[in-house]
Amino acid sequence: MPSILTIIRASLSALALAAIGAQLVLHVGASHSVLNFFSYFTNLSNLVAASVLLLCAFDVGSSSKGSMTLARYVSAVNMAVVGLVFAVLLRNTDFGTLLPWVNFVLHYVMPVAVVLDWLADPPGLKLHSNSHFLPLLFPAFYLVYVLLRGASTGWYPYPFLNPANVGGYGGVAAYSLGIAVAVLLASWLLLAAGNRRASAKSRA
């Protein structure tokens, strides 16, 4: 019989995928670019989070070992940043056809749920202190992609990444630096909390 944690993880994964799917159908129906849809950090991070939760739901034991621990950690950091950036920079932004319930699921429910999942089911192994730099890789590649594509198409997923909105590339750099600091802070806090919980778990 599935454990409560398994059911919760599977349900959250299904909810996130349903939200992304519903918004994608609306997006395509309005003749918008599918590539643009998958160029939002929120959508990408939620897809990763849903996938990680689903993998853990199928095999809860693997959620505390090796590569899955790193995947859960990076996903938790990414989702924490999704929630933080939305609350600070994007809460009053008009995203056009974004459905209110989809917005609530992707920007509020999932960030909180994924972070709580990391804290509620701590890793069986303590992560190395240098691991807190790992979550920076995806945002860094994402930033390069967005700026290169934006320069060629004129479309940017977020206002603060559009040089025309923030006084040029210097403004983009300032916002990017601020978000990088947020990523590192979230990385350090979640790594410290995870390692502390892992130590307590090993002593229990």
pLDDT in tens, the chain (204 residues): 678 999 999 999 999 999 999 999 999 999 999 999 999 999 999 999 999 999 998 875 455 567 888 999 999 999 999 999 999 999 988 888 899 999 999 999 999 999 999 999 877 778 888 888 999 999 999 999 999 999 999 999 999 999 999 999 999 999 999 999 999 999 999 999 988 877 766 565
**Following CA atoms 12, 15, 21, 26 in sequence, which dihedral angle do they give, to the nearest 10 degrees?**
-140
Residue 72 pLDDT: 94
* Sole residue written with tokens 């056009």: 96
**Following CA atoms 69, 73, 75, 79 in sequence, which dihedral angle do they give, to the nearest 10 degrees?**
150
Amino acid at 24: L
Distance CA 86, CA 90 (A): 5
Domain layout of the chain by residue ranges:
4-203
Extract the tokens encoding 5: 């944690």
Residue 178 pLDDT: 97
Residue 159 pLDDT: 96
Which residues are within 8 A (CB) of 41 and not within 5 positions of it... i.e. 6 or more apart? Answer: 82, 139, 142, 157, 158
pTM equals 0.92
Continuous H helices in the chain: 4-29, 34-37, 41-58, 66-85, 100-104, 110-120, 137-153, 169-203
- Cα angle for residues 16, 118, 74 (degrees, 5° grid): 75
Extract the tokens encoding 40: 């939002």
Residues present in the chain in total: 204
Residue 125 pLDDT: 76
**Following CA atoms 55, 4, 80, 28 in sequence, which dihedral angle do they give, to the nearest 10 degrees?**
60
